[in-house]
Chains A and B, each alone.
Chain A
Amino acid sequence: MDCSLGLPPKTCPHCSKSFSSVKVKYRHIKRVHQVAVEGARRSLMLCPLCADGSVKTYEILRKHIKKNHQVLGEKELTQRFNEIQLSEFEELALERLQLFRILEHATQKGLRIYSEEWKECVFTELTRNQLRRYYRLAKSTDLENPVDVDLQARRADHISHFILRLAYCRTESLRKWFLARELEWFKLRFQQQSSKSIESFLKLNSLTYTSISAEEKAKFYSDLSDSTANAYVIDQLNFYKVRFTEVPSLIKSRRVFVHKGYAYIPNFELVTCILGIFRSTLNEALVYANRRLPLMDDDRINFLITNLHNIYTGKDYSQNFNSGKVGLTSLDMYARDHFPLCMKYVYGILKSTHHLKHDCRLQLGLFLKGIGLTYEDSMTFWKNEFTKKIDSGKFDKEYAYNIKHMYGLVGQRTSYSAYSCIRIISCNVGVGDHHGCPYKHWDSVVLRSKLNELGMTTEAVQDIVDAASKGHYQIACCKYFEYVHGQQNKVAINHPNQYFEESLECSKESKNQKSEDTSKTVKKQKADTTLQISDIDWNEEM
């Protein structure tokens, strides 16, 4: 399997040998390590409609569905969902994950979502990774008259969807990520459908929409023409009146006319409506699955399900591997040399005003935790800063809890992970806030002057500001990195903590290069170690 997407190779957990398929891996484990993977051959049963794990046999599943759902005919059920081998279970899960990674990557490359280039990029990646079934699904334009291959692909699609539901229902952020990808996948496929196919899809799901009357249209004529995005001649359009809760994304971006609780949507936006229904149904199902998950305690898949999510996130910097690496005394030095701009700026604000607002505190605090500031040091750090303005009693009362919370010592006791670039870029910044991504949340004049203050050359500043104003915030950040360290950066920056680590790495390397002249043996050793470190860092952990 392709490691560039961050999926784990099919390696043996005992000896880290890798194999061509999961099936072979299981055979190896059984033969070489004499460990019987319990139940590797036994089939797994999950209710496909509610992910109820209490179902143990096919018989019970059938009864369960009959009793609880009454949706599918028995024959259909047998055709669609059969027994699955454990190896297939794992393979299906990983394949879908790969699909989702492809969708996500295409968007991260800066391609406009659902545009022709975006689709093209997704299709080529699908072929490159040999996801034939998904390629077929993505390309199919008609939902009726499927041939055998189509049915096979649909089966994989269905089963893997439900497996991933189990893996991604655990926490809010996982649910959010999963939901976003599922919606992208759904919309991509929906847009490929012919109008006849869409019609029958609507009929199949008993979704009916009736358009508004001519009088109503005449009454709101000017409002409709002003408020409907991408519609220039509204006379030819049919408008549908739906509750505003049904089209959240249109409301959010102010793209339709809203009156008395109803949104007036043009016919080309109907897909949003259907997406909305899909989203809310799936969201509910995920919450439900999360509640039922403890009931499904099955050793054979527990490991896969709990670890699947690590496969996508890369490093999340919540577990502190670096703990204690960074001391209080060196913090100023690190801030000067190795912090990315977003953190450097906030750090500067804290040093000069001795106060930060809540969200801002979280952004910096979790970052510091991620680079290895221990809880004790962190507390001293914040206290030292804040008490320059307020007395320590007030600090203990109002802010100490917050710091403990960051380290998961109070409240829900989850150890929070440091914010990634995506998180920082998409966060809301309000009046009086300082956090956020400088390349996105600052006016270009401000960005320019701040960069000048940092002593960058005019050419560098121009380059960075250009990238930022085009909306390539992470590229701007990479450029900043390059200009600071004067060398080509190997990977794209997608996490402030990653920036920090890369930056440390760079300074180490340049030190090594200096010592090159003095002794050759030292050089060789060090070069080896640096090579190793950079190897482990990004590809392995993901």
Chain B
Amino acid sequence: MLKIEFDQKTHQKISEEQFREALHIYYEELYPFNTIFKWLSYGDPLYMLKREISFTTLKDSYIRYKSFQNEEELGQYILKRDPAKINIGAIYHVPPRDYAVTSHCRPIEKEFVFDIDINDYNEIRTCCKETDICCKCWKFLCLACKILERILIEDFGFKHLLWVFSGRRGIHCWVCDKVARQLSKEERCNILAYINLIQGNTNIHRKVHLPAKPLHSSVQRALDIIEKNFIDFIIIEQDILNDSKNGLQKFLKLLWDCFPNEFEQVMSKYKTSVDKWNAFVTHLTLLQKSHRLPNKLKYLKEEIMLHFTYPRLDMAVTQTLDHLLKAPFCIHAKTGKSSKSSTSTRSTNRFIIWNYAYYC
């Protein structure tokens, strides 16, 4: 299907000129303008006219506040410029291309979007670093998607969800229901606060804190999903308690407020991650039974499980209406160091991996 499939390994270095050429062919032959346009206009051509489309050029500058009346117009514009990236913005109350200069346009609608990036998992994953991603850590994203999907569908009753692999290291979710598109900034923030459990910056070790009352049904159901995978995925595959990677010390930091020394004694007796985890669980129940566990740490085990698996969302993308997000099927032009620009069409390749991974 793909004429211009650059494999990462064989085509490490191609010139900018070549890339542009390839990009042009891609837009000409493959890019599904029709589908994208149809999707973004929701059966109302006027809707699209008020929608901001912006572009990132190959030279990394931004062209903002464009809007298009029909599919041909959009296609022609793109084929003329060959932008590196197409970004989708909000619906304004007037066509942004005419009014952006006067700064009188206000965003009124936008899909409700979520972005999960793998580098937010850096402190917990053991297989890759920085922006790298492999099949193992891809599972973090899969699990996050499952949890997020359940909340969006079951709790909030949204029906039209579009999941897109972002091209390098993350997943976008576009919630396209009419109700979702019309949510105001505050409402978005509120829903986000409902969903989000991961809180704290680099100076907070355990990022989940649950109140000492019955678990909310949404948290409980997330835990139901997590419990099925936790041992296999986090303990065995990620091997978070492995001594060679200083895993136990890292883990004990999460328990800073709950007898870390005692747990160290108990857990360091064992070799494998599974045994250590089991020792942790047994000792925790022991503490609970002997009433030595403070009430606010009632859900310590759950908090730790959520710490490792709950979706780590990029808040800024979801909160504001006018945040731009990359359109599906864009090529991710990953520029490594400035001298050797390596490029790839990993977008499509990865999409397949993602499909596979997500449904498996």
User: Which of A146-154, A442-450, A495-503 sits within the interface?
Assistant: A442-450
Task: Report if A261 contacts B (CB, 8 A).
Answer: yes
B204 an interface residue at 8 Å Cβ cutoff?
Answer: yes
Point out the residues of chain A lying under 8 angstroms from B44, CB to CB.
none
Residue of chain B at shortest CB distance from A430? B315
Q: Are B218 and A254 within 8 A (Cβ)?
A: yes
Which of A13-21, A221-229, A317-325, A402-410 sits within the interface?
Answer: A221-229
Q: Does B246 touch A at the CB level, under 8 Å?
A: no
- B204–A443 contact, CB under 8 A? yes
Cross-chain contact A442 with B214 (CB below 8 angstroms): no
A535 part of interface (Cβ distance < 8 Å) = no
A254: which B residues are within 8 A, CB to CB?
193-194, 216, 218-219
- CB-CB < 8 A to B190: which residues of A? 248-249, 251-252
Could you tell me the distance in whole angstroms from the C-beta of A160 to the nearest C-beta in chain B? 25
- Which residues 206-237 of A sit at the B interface, judged by CB distance below 8 A? 223, 225-227, 229
B256 contacts A226, C-beta separation under 8 Å: no
Does residue B187 face the partner (Cβ distance < 8 Å to A)?
yes
Main secondary structure of the interface of B (DSSP, over half): loop
A contact residues around B189 at 8 Å (CB): 252
Scan residues 193-242 of chain B and give those whose CB is less than 8 A from a CB of chain A: 193-194, 198-207, 213-220
Nearest residue in B to A255 (C-beta to C-beta)? B216
Query: A363-385 interface mask toward B, CB cutoff 8 Å, 1 = contact, 0 = none?
Result: 00000000000000000000000
Q: Chain A residues near B198 (CB, 8 Å)? A: 430-431
Residues of chain A within 8 A of B157, CB atoms compared:
259-262
Partner of A253, one of B193, B207, B214, B220: B193
- Which of A98-106, A114-122, A125-133, A391-399 lines the interface with chain B? A391-399
B: contact size bracket = 35 or more
| Cα distance, A382 to B314, chains bound together (Å) | 25
* Contact partner, B207, options A260, A431, A435, A446, Cβ 8 Å: A431
A432 touches B216 (CB 8 A): no
Kindly state whether residue B338 has any CB partner on chain A within 8 Å.
yes
The answer for the CA separation of A259 and B158 in the assembled complex, in Å, is: 11
Report yes or no: A226 in contact with B220, Cβ–Cβ below 8 A. Answer: yes
Q: Check if B123 is an interface residue, CB within 8 A of chain A.
A: yes
Of B155, B207, B214, the residue contacting A225 (CB under 8 A) is B214
Q: How far is the CA of A397 from the CA of B186 in the complex (A)?
A: 32
Query: A428 and B256 in contact (CB under 8 A), knowing A261-B179, A435-B201, A443-B205?
Result: no
**Chain B positions within 8 Å of A435 at CB level:** 201
Inter-subunit contact B193/A227 (CB<8 Å): no
Say whether B191 faces chain A, with CB atoms less than 8 Å apart.
Answer: yes
Known: A251-B190, A412-B103. A429 touches B215 (CB 8 A): no
Query: For B205, what are the chain A residues with a Cβ–Cβ distance below 8 Å?
Result: 443, 446
Q: Decide if A433 is an interface residue (CB 8 Å cutoff).
A: yes
B304 contacts the other chain (CB 8 A): no
Partner of B338, one of A223, A394, A445: A394
Partner of B217 from A227, A251, A432 at Cβ < 8 Å: A227
Interchain CB contact (< 8 A) of B154 among A245, A248, A260, A442:
A260
Instruction: Name the contact of A431 in the complex, choosing from B120, B206, B256 (C-beta under 8 A).
Output: B120
Q: In the bound complex, what is the Cα–Cα distance between A54 and B120 (angstroms)?
A: 53
By a CB distance below 8 angstroms, the chain A residues around B60 are 397
Asked whether any CB of chain A lies closer than 8 Å to the CB of B183, the reply is yes
In the complex, residue of chain B having the shortest beta-carbon distance to the beta carbon of A230: B213
Q: Are B201 and A258 in contact (CB under 8 A)?
A: no
Chain B residues with Cβ under 8 A from A355's Cβ? Answer: none
With CB as the reference atom, state the residue of chain A lying closest to B260.
A445
10 cross-chain pairs, A with B, having the tightest CB-CB distances, nearest first: A261-B157, A260-B157, A429-B201, A442-B203, A433-B201, A226-B214, A252-B190, A248-B190, A252-B193, A223-B217
Query: Other CB < 8 Å A-B pairs besides A248-B187, A254-B194, A446-B205, 12 of them?
Result: A244-B156, A252-B189, A257-B216, A258-B155, A258-B194, A261-B155, A358-B316, A431-B207, A435-B201, A436-B201, A438-B203, A441-B200
B→A interface (CB under 8 Å) = 60, 103, 119-120, 122-123, 154-158, 179, 183, 186-187, 189-191, 193-194, 198-207, 213-220, 256-257, 312, 314-316, 338
Q: List 17 A-B contacts (CB under 8 A).
A: A226-B216, A226-B217, A229-B213, A249-B190, A252-B190, A252-B194, A253-B193, A254-B216, A260-B155, A394-B338, A429-B201, A430-B314, A432-B201, A441-B201, A442-B201, A443-B204, A446-B203
